Amino acid sequence: MNNPDWLIKKIIKMGGTISFYDYMNFALNDPSNGYYGSGKAELGAQGDFVTSPSLSDDFAFFVGKQIEEWLIQLKSNHLCDQKLFVIDFGAGDGSFISGLIKYLFESSNNSLEGVSFVIIEPNKGMIEKQKIKLQEFLGLGIDILWKGLEEIEGNNINGIFIANEVLDALPVERLTFSKGKLCRQAVSIDKKSSRLFFDELPITSELEKSIKLAEIKLGITIPPGDALEGWTTEWHIDNSKWLKGIYEKINNGILLIIDYAKEARNYYGLRNSNGTIISYKNQKTSNNILESPGDSDLTSHICIETLINDAEILGFKNLGTTKQGEALLALGLAERLYEIQKDFKTDLSKALARREALLRLVDPICLGNFKWFVFHKLKEKKSNITSTCLS
Ligand SMILES: C[S@@+](CC[C@H](N)C(=O)[O-])C[C@H]1O[C@@H](n2cnc3c(N)ncnc32)[C@H](O)[C@@H]1O
Protein backbone atom coordinates (compact mmCIF):
# COMPACT_ATOMS: atom_id res chain seq x y z
CA MET A 1 0.00 0.00 0.00
CA ASN A 2 1.46 3.37 -0.93
CA ASN A 3 -1.07 5.63 0.78
CA PRO A 4 -1.56 4.86 4.46
CA ASP A 5 -4.12 7.13 6.12
CA TRP A 6 -1.76 8.47 8.78
CA LEU A 7 0.67 9.73 6.13
CA ILE A 8 -1.97 11.06 3.76
CA LYS A 9 -3.42 13.15 6.63
CA LYS A 10 0.01 14.57 7.43
CA ILE A 11 0.74 15.46 3.81
CA ILE A 12 -2.68 17.11 3.34
CA LYS A 13 -2.09 19.14 6.51
CA MET A 14 1.21 20.32 5.01
CA GLY A 15 -0.47 21.49 1.78
CA GLY A 16 -0.52 18.30 -0.32
CA THR A 17 3.17 18.21 -1.22
CA ILE A 18 6.17 17.48 1.00
CA SER A 19 9.89 17.20 0.27
CA PHE A 20 11.34 13.71 -0.12
CA TYR A 21 13.34 14.47 3.04
CA ASP A 22 10.11 14.92 5.02
CA TYR A 23 8.62 11.80 3.44
CA MET A 24 11.63 9.67 4.50
CA ASN A 25 11.63 11.23 7.95
CA PHE A 26 7.94 10.40 8.50
CA ALA A 27 8.27 6.90 7.02
CA LEU A 28 11.15 6.04 9.36
CA ASN A 29 10.77 8.20 12.44
CA ASP A 30 7.11 9.06 12.99
CA PRO A 31 6.63 8.10 16.65
CA SER A 32 3.33 6.23 16.08
CA ASN A 33 3.67 4.86 12.56
CA GLY A 34 7.30 5.18 11.42
CA TYR A 35 9.38 2.07 10.83
CA TYR A 36 11.89 2.89 13.59
CA GLY A 37 9.81 5.44 15.49
CA SER A 38 7.09 2.95 16.38
CA GLY A 39 9.56 0.10 16.92
CA LYS A 40 8.17 -1.96 14.01
CA ALA A 41 11.70 -2.46 12.66
CA GLU A 42 12.76 -6.10 12.87
CA LEU A 43 16.49 -6.64 12.43
CA GLY A 44 18.28 -9.95 11.98
CA ALA A 45 18.05 -13.11 9.89
CA GLN A 46 14.37 -13.59 10.82
CA GLY A 47 13.52 -9.91 10.38
CA ASP A 48 13.41 -7.48 7.47
CA PHE A 49 17.17 -7.17 6.95
CA VAL A 50 20.40 -8.11 8.67
CA THR A 51 22.97 -5.75 10.12
CA SER A 52 26.40 -7.05 11.11
CA PRO A 53 25.73 -7.15 14.89
CA SER A 54 22.30 -8.72 14.41
CA LEU A 55 23.84 -11.83 12.78
CA SER A 56 25.81 -13.01 15.82
CA ASP A 57 28.01 -11.63 18.61
CA ASP A 58 31.11 -12.13 16.46
CA PHE A 59 30.92 -8.69 14.86
CA ALA A 60 30.73 -6.96 18.25
CA PHE A 61 33.65 -9.09 19.45
CA PHE A 62 35.89 -7.96 16.56
CA VAL A 63 34.87 -4.32 16.87
CA GLY A 64 35.23 -4.79 20.65
CA LYS A 65 38.85 -5.77 20.13
CA GLN A 66 39.38 -2.52 18.21
CA ILE A 67 37.48 -0.41 20.75
CA GLU A 68 39.47 -1.92 23.59
CA GLU A 69 42.74 -1.12 21.77
CA TRP A 70 41.61 2.49 21.38
CA LEU A 71 40.42 2.74 25.00
CA ILE A 72 43.81 1.47 26.21
CA GLN A 73 45.59 4.04 24.04
CA LEU A 74 43.37 6.86 25.25
CA LYS A 75 44.17 5.84 28.84
CA SER A 76 47.86 5.12 28.46
CA ASN A 77 48.63 8.21 26.39
CA HIS A 78 47.29 10.12 29.40
CA LEU A 79 44.92 11.71 26.93
CA CYS A 80 42.23 11.31 29.52
CA ASP A 81 42.33 10.42 33.14
CA GLN A 82 38.61 10.95 33.57
CA LYS A 83 35.75 8.61 32.76
CA LEU A 84 35.73 7.11 29.26
CA PHE A 85 32.57 6.74 27.21
CA VAL A 86 31.54 4.32 24.51
CA ILE A 87 28.73 6.01 22.62
CA ASP A 88 26.61 4.00 20.18
CA PHE A 89 24.44 5.96 17.76
CA GLY A 90 21.26 4.29 16.53
CA ALA A 91 21.63 1.05 18.45
CA GLY A 92 18.95 -0.92 16.55
CA ASP A 93 17.85 -3.85 18.72
CA GLY A 94 20.83 -3.40 21.09
CA SER A 95 22.81 -6.36 19.70
CA PHE A 96 26.02 -4.40 19.25
CA ILE A 97 26.23 -3.02 22.79
CA SER A 98 25.22 -6.40 24.19
CA GLY A 99 28.02 -8.19 22.27
CA LEU A 100 30.51 -5.47 23.11
CA ILE A 101 29.84 -5.66 26.85
CA LYS A 102 30.19 -9.47 26.71
CA TYR A 103 33.55 -9.05 24.96
CA LEU A 104 34.84 -6.51 27.48
CA PHE A 105 33.60 -8.70 30.38
CA GLU A 106 35.59 -11.66 29.10
CA SER A 107 38.68 -9.66 28.23
CA SER A 108 41.62 -9.87 30.59
CA ASN A 109 42.38 -6.16 30.25
CA ASN A 110 39.89 -4.85 32.80
CA SER A 111 38.55 -2.67 30.04
CA LEU A 112 35.07 -2.30 31.50
CA GLU A 113 36.44 -0.40 34.48
CA GLY A 114 35.72 3.31 34.32
CA VAL A 115 33.74 3.01 31.07
CA SER A 116 30.17 4.27 30.65
CA PHE A 117 27.99 3.27 27.72
CA VAL A 118 25.64 5.76 26.15
CA ILE A 119 23.06 4.94 23.50
CA ILE A 120 21.94 7.85 21.37
CA GLU A 121 18.66 6.71 19.88
CA PRO A 122 15.90 9.17 18.93
CA ASN A 123 13.25 6.50 18.35
CA LYS A 124 11.29 5.42 21.45
CA GLY A 125 10.13 2.21 19.75
CA MET A 126 13.75 1.13 19.33
CA ILE A 127 14.74 2.20 22.86
CA GLU A 128 12.18 -0.27 24.23
CA LYS A 129 13.77 -3.12 22.25
CA GLN A 130 17.26 -2.07 23.38
CA LYS A 131 16.24 -1.98 27.05
CA ILE A 132 14.87 -5.52 26.82
CA LYS A 133 18.05 -6.79 25.12
CA LEU A 134 20.31 -5.11 27.66
CA GLN A 135 18.26 -5.96 30.77
CA GLU A 136 20.79 -8.49 32.08
CA PHE A 137 23.63 -5.93 31.98
CA LEU A 138 21.48 -3.19 33.52
CA GLY A 139 20.70 -5.73 36.28
CA LEU A 140 24.43 -6.22 36.84
CA GLY A 141 24.85 -2.48 37.37
CA ILE A 142 26.69 -1.80 34.08
CA ASP A 143 26.48 1.90 33.39
CA ILE A 144 24.28 2.14 30.26
CA LEU A 145 22.40 5.36 29.66
CA TRP A 146 20.03 6.52 26.94
CA LYS A 147 20.57 10.20 26.23
CA GLY A 148 20.58 12.78 23.51
CA LEU A 149 24.05 14.08 22.68
CA GLU A 150 22.99 17.51 23.90
CA GLU A 151 21.99 16.01 27.27
CA ILE A 152 25.53 14.87 28.03
CA GLU A 153 27.04 17.48 30.33
CA GLY A 154 29.91 19.60 29.08
CA ASN A 155 31.83 19.53 25.82
CA ASN A 156 34.61 17.30 27.03
CA ILE A 157 33.69 13.71 26.30
CA ASN A 158 36.57 11.27 26.08
CA GLY A 159 36.00 7.97 24.37
CA ILE A 160 34.78 6.09 21.35
CA PHE A 161 31.81 7.00 19.17
CA ILE A 162 30.35 4.37 16.86
CA ALA A 163 27.69 4.59 14.17
CA ASN A 164 27.02 1.32 12.36
CA GLU A 165 24.43 1.67 9.61
CA VAL A 166 23.05 4.90 11.03
CA LEU A 167 23.97 7.50 8.42
CA ASP A 168 22.19 5.40 5.80
CA ALA A 169 19.01 5.76 7.86
CA LEU A 170 19.13 9.55 8.20
CA PRO A 171 16.58 11.26 5.94
CA VAL A 172 18.06 12.50 2.68
CA GLU A 173 17.08 15.07 0.13
CA ARG A 174 16.71 13.76 -3.42
CA LEU A 175 17.81 15.91 -6.32
CA THR A 176 16.30 15.51 -9.76
CA PHE A 177 17.43 16.95 -13.08
CA SER A 178 14.27 18.26 -14.68
CA LYS A 179 13.75 20.57 -17.66
CA GLY A 180 17.37 21.68 -17.63
CA LYS A 181 17.68 22.40 -13.92
CA LEU A 182 18.23 20.66 -10.60
CA CYS A 183 15.06 20.30 -8.48
CA ARG A 184 14.30 19.04 -5.01
CA GLN A 185 12.32 15.81 -5.22
CA ALA A 186 8.96 15.95 -3.48
CA VAL A 187 6.06 13.62 -2.74
CA SER A 188 2.45 14.61 -3.50
CA ILE A 189 -0.96 12.97 -3.32
CA ASP A 190 -2.95 12.24 -6.43
CA LYS A 191 -6.38 13.80 -5.84
CA LYS A 192 -8.36 11.04 -7.58
CA SER A 193 -6.64 7.89 -6.31
CA SER A 194 -5.12 9.31 -3.11
CA ARG A 195 -1.89 7.57 -4.12
CA LEU A 196 1.53 9.07 -3.52
CA PHE A 197 3.64 10.15 -6.49
CA PHE A 198 6.99 11.86 -7.01
CA ASP A 199 6.79 15.58 -7.56
CA GLU A 200 9.24 18.50 -7.62
CA LEU A 201 9.95 21.55 -5.51
CA PRO A 202 12.48 24.31 -6.15
CA ILE A 203 15.91 23.77 -4.67
CA THR A 204 16.45 25.55 -1.34
CA SER A 205 19.32 27.97 -0.72
CA GLU A 206 20.68 25.64 2.01
CA LEU A 207 20.83 22.79 -0.50
CA GLU A 208 22.32 24.98 -3.20
CA LYS A 209 25.06 26.15 -0.84
CA SER A 210 25.89 22.65 0.37
CA ILE A 211 26.07 21.25 -3.19
CA LYS A 212 28.24 24.16 -4.40
CA LEU A 213 30.70 23.65 -1.54
CA ALA A 214 31.07 19.94 -2.33
CA GLU A 215 31.43 20.61 -6.06
CA ILE A 216 34.30 23.04 -5.44
CA LYS A 217 36.04 20.88 -2.87
CA LEU A 218 35.63 17.52 -4.62
CA GLY A 219 35.78 18.59 -8.26
CA ILE A 220 32.44 17.00 -9.14
CA THR A 221 29.41 18.41 -10.95
CA ILE A 222 25.84 17.72 -9.93
CA PRO A 223 24.15 16.74 -12.15
CA PRO A 224 26.99 15.34 -14.25
CA GLY A 225 27.45 16.83 -17.75
CA ASP A 226 25.14 15.13 -20.28
CA ALA A 227 22.73 14.06 -17.53
CA LEU A 228 19.45 12.91 -19.01
CA GLU A 229 16.06 14.23 -17.96
CA GLY A 230 15.08 12.56 -14.68
CA TRP A 231 18.64 11.85 -13.44
CA THR A 232 18.21 11.62 -9.66
CA THR A 233 20.54 11.34 -6.69
CA GLU A 234 20.53 11.58 -2.89
CA TRP A 235 22.00 14.40 -0.86
CA HIS A 236 22.89 13.71 2.78
CA ILE A 237 22.04 17.13 4.08
CA ASP A 238 22.12 16.06 7.76
CA ASN A 239 25.58 14.45 7.81
CA SER A 240 27.54 17.62 8.48
CA LYS A 241 25.12 18.74 11.25
CA TRP A 242 25.38 15.26 12.80
CA LEU A 243 29.20 15.34 12.64
CA LYS A 244 29.29 18.88 14.04
CA GLY A 245 27.19 17.82 17.05
CA ILE A 246 29.74 15.09 17.81
CA TYR A 247 32.83 17.18 17.09
CA GLU A 248 31.75 19.88 19.51
CA LYS A 249 31.21 17.35 22.31
CA ILE A 250 34.57 15.57 22.02
CA ASN A 251 37.61 16.34 24.10
CA ASN A 252 39.67 13.31 23.03
CA GLY A 253 37.83 10.75 20.99
CA ILE A 254 37.65 8.38 18.06
CA LEU A 255 34.67 8.11 15.74
CA LEU A 256 34.05 4.90 13.81
CA ILE A 257 31.44 5.11 11.05
CA ILE A 258 30.46 1.93 9.21
CA ASP A 259 28.10 2.05 6.27
CA TYR A 260 27.29 1.35 2.66
CA ALA A 261 29.29 3.88 0.68
CA LYS A 262 30.25 4.78 -2.86
CA GLU A 263 32.96 6.98 -4.35
CA ALA A 264 31.77 10.38 -5.57
CA ARG A 265 32.56 9.68 -9.24
CA ASN A 266 30.21 6.66 -9.15
CA TYR A 267 27.66 8.18 -6.78
CA TYR A 268 27.14 11.27 -8.89
CA GLY A 269 28.04 9.65 -12.21
CA LEU A 270 25.84 9.47 -15.28
CA ARG A 271 25.22 5.76 -14.86
CA ASN A 272 23.90 6.04 -11.33
CA SER A 273 20.81 7.75 -12.68
CA ASN A 274 18.37 6.81 -9.93
CA GLY A 275 20.50 7.20 -6.82
CA THR A 276 21.10 4.46 -4.27
CA ILE A 277 18.00 4.50 -2.11
CA ILE A 278 16.08 1.25 -1.68
CA SER A 279 13.55 -0.19 0.71
CA TYR A 280 13.84 -3.43 2.68
CA LYS A 281 11.09 -5.73 3.88
CA ASN A 282 11.23 -9.46 4.68
CA GLN A 283 14.86 -9.69 3.46
CA LYS A 284 13.83 -8.35 0.03
CA THR A 285 14.92 -5.09 -1.55
CA SER A 286 12.70 -2.91 -3.68
CA ASN A 287 13.24 0.24 -5.72
CA ASN A 288 9.64 1.20 -5.13
CA ILE A 289 10.37 3.51 -2.23
CA LEU A 290 6.85 4.96 -2.08
CA GLU A 291 5.44 1.50 -1.29
CA SER A 292 4.54 0.69 2.33
CA PRO A 293 5.93 3.79 4.06
CA GLY A 294 6.31 3.05 7.75
CA ASP A 295 6.30 -0.70 7.22
CA SER A 296 9.67 -1.08 5.52
CA ASP A 297 13.18 0.28 5.90
CA LEU A 298 14.51 3.00 3.61
CA THR A 299 18.27 3.20 3.22
CA SER A 300 20.68 5.08 1.00
CA HIS A 301 24.46 4.79 0.54
CA ILE A 302 26.70 7.57 1.74
CA CYS A 303 29.28 9.25 -0.49
CA ILE A 304 32.85 8.49 0.69
CA GLU A 305 34.52 11.79 -0.23
CA THR A 306 31.58 13.95 0.86
CA LEU A 307 31.57 12.33 4.30
CA ILE A 308 35.35 12.72 4.72
CA ASN A 309 35.13 16.30 3.49
CA ASP A 310 32.28 17.12 5.91
CA ALA A 311 34.32 15.67 8.79
CA GLU A 312 37.62 17.31 7.86
CA ILE A 313 36.07 20.77 7.43
CA LEU A 314 35.05 20.52 11.10
CA GLY A 315 38.56 19.54 12.20
CA PHE A 316 38.30 15.74 12.46
CA LYS A 317 41.40 13.89 11.29
CA ASN A 318 40.68 10.93 9.02
CA LEU A 319 42.91 8.08 10.21
CA GLY A 320 41.86 5.90 7.31
CA THR A 321 39.09 4.16 5.45
CA THR A 322 38.87 0.46 4.76
CA LYS A 323 36.44 -2.24 3.69
CA GLN A 324 34.69 -4.23 6.41
CA GLY A 325 36.07 -7.51 5.00
CA GLU A 326 39.64 -6.24 5.36
CA ALA A 327 39.02 -4.69 8.78
CA LEU A 328 37.58 -7.91 10.20
CA LEU A 329 40.37 -10.05 8.77
CA ALA A 330 42.90 -7.71 10.41
CA LEU A 331 40.98 -8.12 13.68
CA GLY A 332 41.19 -11.92 13.62
CA LEU A 333 38.26 -13.26 11.62
CA ALA A 334 40.32 -15.93 9.83
CA GLU A 335 41.59 -17.28 13.17
CA ARG A 336 38.03 -17.44 14.48
CA LEU A 337 36.90 -19.39 11.41
CA TYR A 338 39.69 -21.84 12.08
CA GLU A 339 38.71 -22.19 15.76
CA ILE A 340 35.13 -23.09 14.76
CA GLN A 341 36.41 -26.25 13.08
CA LYS A 342 36.94 -27.68 16.56
CA ASP A 343 33.20 -27.36 17.24
CA PHE A 344 32.29 -29.38 14.14
CA LYS A 345 32.58 -32.61 16.11
CA THR A 346 30.49 -31.49 19.10
CA ASP A 347 27.65 -29.56 17.45
CA LEU A 348 27.88 -29.54 13.67
CA SER A 349 24.75 -27.53 12.87
CA LYS A 350 25.62 -24.81 15.40
CA ALA A 351 29.18 -24.61 14.08
CA LEU A 352 27.99 -24.38 10.46
CA ALA A 353 25.51 -21.61 11.32
CA ARG A 354 28.26 -19.69 13.09
CA ARG A 355 30.61 -20.14 10.15
CA GLU A 356 27.94 -18.89 7.76
CA ALA A 357 27.30 -15.79 9.92
CA LEU A 358 31.05 -15.08 9.96
CA LEU A 359 31.36 -15.46 6.21
CA ARG A 360 28.41 -13.12 5.65
CA LEU A 361 30.29 -10.40 7.56
CA VAL A 362 33.07 -10.46 4.96
CA ASP A 363 31.08 -11.36 1.85
CA PRO A 364 32.39 -8.86 -0.74
CA ILE A 365 29.01 -8.36 -2.38
CA CYS A 366 27.25 -7.60 0.87
CA LEU A 367 28.39 -6.66 4.40
CA GLY A 368 32.08 -7.20 3.55
CA ASN A 369 31.91 -4.26 1.17
CA PHE A 370 30.77 -1.83 3.89
CA LYS A 371 33.23 0.99 4.46
CA TRP A 372 34.82 1.71 7.82
CA PHE A 373 35.80 5.34 8.39
CA VAL A 374 38.02 6.14 11.37
CA PHE A 375 38.21 9.78 12.51
CA HIS A 376 39.70 11.30 15.61
CA LYS A 377 39.80 14.55 17.49
CA LEU A 378 42.66 14.82 19.97
CA LYS A 379 43.51 17.86 22.05
CA GLU A 380 47.20 17.02 21.94
CA LYS A 381 47.75 17.13 18.20
CA LYS A 382 51.01 15.14 18.32
CA SER A 383 49.39 12.15 20.00
CA ASN A 384 49.39 9.04 17.93
CA ILE A 385 46.56 6.52 17.71
CA THR A 386 47.06 3.16 16.01
CA SER A 387 44.21 1.07 14.64
CA THR A 388 44.52 -2.65 13.92
CA CYS A 389 41.43 -2.43 11.69
CA LEU A 390 43.35 -0.21 9.28
CA SER A 391 46.49 -2.34 9.15
C1 LIG B 1 19.77 0.28 10.36
S2 LIG B 1 19.50 0.54 12.06
C3 LIG B 1 21.14 0.19 12.65
C4 LIG B 1 21.11 -0.49 13.96
C5 LIG B 1 22.43 -0.86 14.63
N6 LIG B 1 23.41 0.17 14.66
C7 LIG B 1 22.96 -2.12 14.04
O8 LIG B 1 24.01 -2.08 13.44
O9 LIG B 1 22.34 -3.17 14.21
C10 LIG B 1 19.41 2.31 12.23
C11 LIG B 1 19.25 2.80 13.65
O12 LIG B 1 19.49 4.21 13.68
C13 LIG B 1 18.48 4.83 14.45
N14 LIG B 1 18.42 6.26 14.09
C15 LIG B 1 17.65 6.89 13.18
N16 LIG B 1 17.93 8.21 13.15
C17 LIG B 1 18.91 8.43 14.06
C18 LIG B 1 19.62 9.58 14.51
N19 LIG B 1 19.38 10.79 14.03
N20 LIG B 1 20.56 9.42 15.47
C21 LIG B 1 20.82 8.21 16.00
N22 LIG B 1 20.17 7.09 15.61
C23 LIG B 1 19.23 7.19 14.65
C24 LIG B 1 17.26 3.98 14.16
O25 LIG B 1 16.21 4.20 15.06
C26 LIG B 1 17.87 2.60 14.25
O27 LIG B 1 18.00 2.18 15.59
> Ligand 1 pocket: which of 43, 126, 166, 302 to mutate (most atoms <8 Å of CB)?
166
pLDDT one-digit tens code per residue, 127-166:
999 999 999 999 999 999 999 999 988 888 999 999 999 9
Instruction: Look at residue 282 in the predicted model and tell me its pLDDT.
Output: 96
Query: In a 3-state reduction of DSSP, which class is residue 286?
Result: strand
pLDDT one-digit tens code per residue, 164-191:
999 999 999 999 999 999 999 999 999 8
Distance from residue 242's CA to the centre of ligand 1 (Å): 13
Give the CATH class of 34-171+238-378+386-390. Answer: alpha beta
Cβ of 92 closer than 6 Å to ligand 1, yes or no, is yes
Query: In a 3-state reduction of DSSP, which class is residue 303?
Result: strand
Give me the percent of the chain exceeding a pLDDT of 70: 98
Query: In a 3-state reduction of DSSP, which class is residue 88?
Result: strand
84 CB neighbour count, 10 Å cutoff: 22
Do 190 and 199 contact (CB within 8 A), yes or no? no
CA distance 133 to 325: 27
Which phi-psi region, left, alpha or beta, contains residue 94 (left: φ > 0; alpha: ψ -120 to 50)? left
pLDDT one-digit tens code per residue, 325-370:
999 999 999 999 998 888 777 888 888 988 999 999 999 988 989 9
142 CB neighbour count, 10 Å cutoff: 17
Cβ of 31 closer than 6 Å to ligand 1, yes or no, is no
Cβ of 120 closer than 6 Å to ligand 1, yes or no, is yes
pLDDT one-digit tens code per residue, 80-91:
567 899 999 999
Give CA torsion, residues 11, 14, 17, 21, to 10 deg.
Answer: -80
Q: Name the helix (H) or strand (E) containing 299.
A: strand 297-299
pLDDT one-digit tens code per residue, 242-291:
999 999 999 999 999 999 999 999 999 999 999 999 999 999 999 999 99
Q: What are phi and psi of 221, to 5 degrees?
A: -125, 140
Give CA torsion, residues 39, 43, 133, 247, to 10 deg.
Answer: -80
Cα four-point dihedral sign 371, 256, 354, 358: positive
Distance from residue 184's CA to the centre of ligand 1 (Å): 25
Distance from residue 165's CA to the centre of ligand 1 (Å): 7
Distance from residue 229's CA to the centre of ligand 1 (Å): 34
Do 85 and 157 contact (CB within 8 A), yes or no? yes
Q: Name the helix (H) or strand (E) containing 233.
A: strand 232-235
Q: Which atom of ligand 1 is least distant from the CA of 43?
A: 9
Do 19 and 13 contact (CB within 8 A), yes or no? no
Cβ of 103 closer than 6 Å to ligand 1, yes or no, is no
Cβ of 19 closer than 6 Å to ligand 1, yes or no, is no
Do 243 and 197 contact (CB within 8 A), yes or no? no
Cβ of 258 closer than 6 Å to ligand 1, yes or no, is no
371 CB neighbour count, 10 Å cutoff: 20
